[in-house]
Amino acid sequence: MNSKAGVPEIELAGVTKQYGNAHAVLESINLVVAKQEFISIIGPSGCGKSTILKLIAGLANPTSGTIRVDGMTPLNARETISFVFQDATLLPWRTVKQNIGLGLELEHAPNAHREKEIAALLDLVGLKNVAKAYPRELSGGMKMRVSIARALATNPQLMLLDEPFAALDEMSRDRLNEEILRLRAEQNWTAVFVTHSVSEAVFLSDRIVVLATNPGRIHAEFQVELPAPRTSAIRNSPQFDAIVARVSHTLRETLQS
Amino acid sequence: MKQRAINVLNALAVFAALVGVWQLILWVFQVPPFMLPSPRAVVRAAGARFPMLLNSLAITAEESAGGLAASIVVGVLVALLFAQSRWVRKMLYPYTLLLQTVPIIAIAPLIIMWVGAGIPAVILIAFIISVAPIIANTTQGLISVDENLVHLFLMHNASRGQLLFKLRLPHAVPSLFVGIRIASGIAVIGAIIGELFAGSGRVGEGGLGYSILYASSQLQTDYMFALVLAASVLGFGFLFLVMFLEWYFLHRWHESARAPEAE
């Protein structure tokens, strides 16, 4: 990875997004994400959480303001970004293995490298014994693992995750949250994680950004000071509960305003 | 397995009942054989001219298959063109509807004038009336891809070609098969109608449609019935083949891929 030292991973300056003449979805967003930081974006429905991710990914253009990813425009930085969608968005006609290899295939990675990378990821996310299965044979949690493995396959520097676990039951969600932290500790990517769940945000993040709606804007930010490494036990600590309570309280403010 | 045996038995029972009703009508109303032959006469007529019947069946099968194959190739190519832009689609789609509504009987003389009577003309007619459902269904499949999947491909800087051949086309295969299933029935009908007009270069020898016309002009009603039955068998055979291929290609990954015996 050829990341430039000293340059923040993401920089949004005065970003406004408006569709047509309708009222702004996002207004004057200023946000800086440091390299290897894990931030969560949380807020009520319609506050433009997912739009921020799309803007960073270059899948949508801001109406005004500038966006830099590792000092580049989002389009130029694309090779270093992976996106994990709310649905697993797997190709149903491909096996687990072939799905994980999709990104490498599209980027014309050599075959040998692809095979090696896929094998390592199957191991890493615990999908070895379903490598040849088709998505329809997998549970929701397993599909999401495939989706994450596919995102990691291209060795990203920045992971954008758009409510990836929203459709899962709580147990699968907790397990995958722990897995995300483990993977991140091994690979050191930066992450922007959009979620509806306060406890998920607190468990995962270094920092939480709370958005307010109408127009979407940054309402508050929280530094999450929990000891590393975080394990599942941390969810039962009073510290954890205190932060969840504070964030939840702030989130409620955004609904009343 | 047991369920399948029961299904087959049920179908056979219905068939036996139909033949029974047919025979009953003959007895009760005393219908003359040239208007409605007995089931036995039909079987006898089919047996007596079996090689000829088989020959007609082979000709019609060839024409239908030719028309259907042309429909699949042309239909997929047109759909690929339609998938390129909404603008192209809006401009050209009405003309595919025209294909579907064109009174084939009215343009048959033109076709004979252009390509001459015989198998090529019949294939052309089968093609014209069976291509529209393939275009419509395949286009739908190509353009109804989930937006997030397109975004996923874009995130990996996918080329236009990669988007088309690694995402849109495989996604459209189930819809393509729906189109082929509809078209396969229409192609057989198209071939038979085509033969009625552009049947054969030689007198007395041609596909099922031509032979039906010929037998009717000779008042060979029993043989005519045998030909009609053969036409039904052909249509059914086509549909079964398509459904088998659909199952074969899709059952591993597609939710709604049905087993051939499911219909």
Tens digit of pLDDT for each residue in A49-100? 999 999 999 999 999 999 999 999 999 999 999 999 998 999 999 999 999 9
Q: Which residues are within 8 A (CB) of A209 and not within 5 positions of it... i.e. 6 or more apart?
A: A31, A39, A40, A41, A42, A218, A220, A221
ipTM: 0.91
- B158 vs A45 pLDDT, higher one: B158
Confidence (pLDDT) at B106 = 82
Instruction: Tell me the residue type at B30.
Output: Q
Best residue of B147, B151, B152, B163 to probe chain A, by most A CBs closer than 10 Å: B152
Confidence (pLDDT) at B1 = 65
- Residue-wise pLDDT for B234-246, tens only, equals 999 999 999 999 9
Chain A residues within 8 A of B155 when measuring between CB atoms? 57, 59, 78, 81-83, 103
**Residues A136 and B253 sit within 8 Å (Cβ to Cβ):** yes
A1 domain-assigned: no
**Residue pointed to by tokens 């309570």:** A245
Confidence (pLDDT) at A1 = 47
Chain A residues within 8 A of B152 when measuring between CB atoms? 83, 85, 89, 102
B151/chain A closest Cα distance in angstroms: 7
A206 domain-assigned: yes
**Residues A26 and A217 sit within 8 Å (Cβ to Cβ):** yes
CATH number for the domain running over B43-262 = 1.10.3720.10
Confidence (pLDDT) at B28 = 92
A138 domain-assigned: yes
- Listed by number, the residues of chain A in 30-69 with a beta carbon closer than 8 Å to a beta carbon of chain B are 54, 57, 59
Q: What are φ and ψ of residue A170, in 5° steps?
A: -60, -35
DSSP assignment string, B113-155: HHH-SSHHHHHHHHHHHHHHHHHHHHHHHHH---HHHHHHHHH
Model confidence at B100: pLDDT above 80: no
Confidence (pLDDT) at A200 = 94
pLDDT grade, residue B201 (50/70/90)?
A: low
Confidence (pLDDT) at A24 = 85
Pick from B187, B189, B175, B188: nearest CA to B246: B175
A91 domain-assigned: yes
Q: What's the CATH number where A219 sits?
A: 3.40.50.300
Confidence (pLDDT) at B256 = 64
Residues in chain A with pLDDT values less than 50 = 1
Confidence (pLDDT) at A144 = 93
Model confidence at B202: pLDDT above 80: no
Chain A residues within 8 A of B253 when measuring between CB atoms? 92-94, 134-136
Pick from B243, B187, B180: nearest CA to B64: B187
- B104 vs B127 pLDDT, higher one: B127
Pick from A244, A239, A256, A158: nearest CA to A200: A244
Beta strands in chain A (DSSP E): 10-17, 26-33, 38-42, 64-69, 81-84, 158-162, 190-195, 207-212, 217-223
Confidence (pLDDT) at B199 = 65
Confidence (pLDDT) at B260 = 47
**Residues A215 and A26 sit within 8 Å (Cβ to Cβ):** yes
Chain B residues within 8 A of A91 when measuring between CB atoms? 149, 167, 170
User: Token pair for residue A62?
Assistant: 């801001």
Residue of A nearest to B251 (CA): A93
Task: Considering only the beta carbons, identify the residue of B148, B173, B253 that sits closest to A85.
Answer: B148
Beta-ladder partners of A207: A39, A223
A231/chain B closest Cα distance in angstroms: 31
Task: Considering only the beta carbons, identify the residue of B146, B156, B157 that sits closest to A89.
Answer: B146
Q: Which residues are within 8 A (CB) of B128 and not within 5 positions of it... i.e. 6 or more apart?
A: B99, B102, B104, B190
Confidence (pLDDT) at B261 = 46
Pick from A65, A56, A53, A58: nearest CA to A18: A65
pLDDT grade, residue B203 (50/70/90)?
A: low
- Residue-wise pLDDT for B36-57, tens only, equals 899 999 999 999 999 999 999 9
- Listed by number, the residues of chain B in 204-233 with a beta carbon closer than 8 Å to a beta carbon of chain A are none
Confidence (pLDDT) at B204 = 57
Q: Please tell me if residue A137 touches chain B, with a CB cutoff of 8 Å.
A: no
A76 domain-assigned: yes
Task: Considering only the beta carbons, identify the residue of A78, A87, A105 that sits closest to B155.
Answer: A78
Tally of domains in chain A: 1
Range of the domain at A221: 10-256
Pick from B141, B140, B136: nearest CA to B172: B141
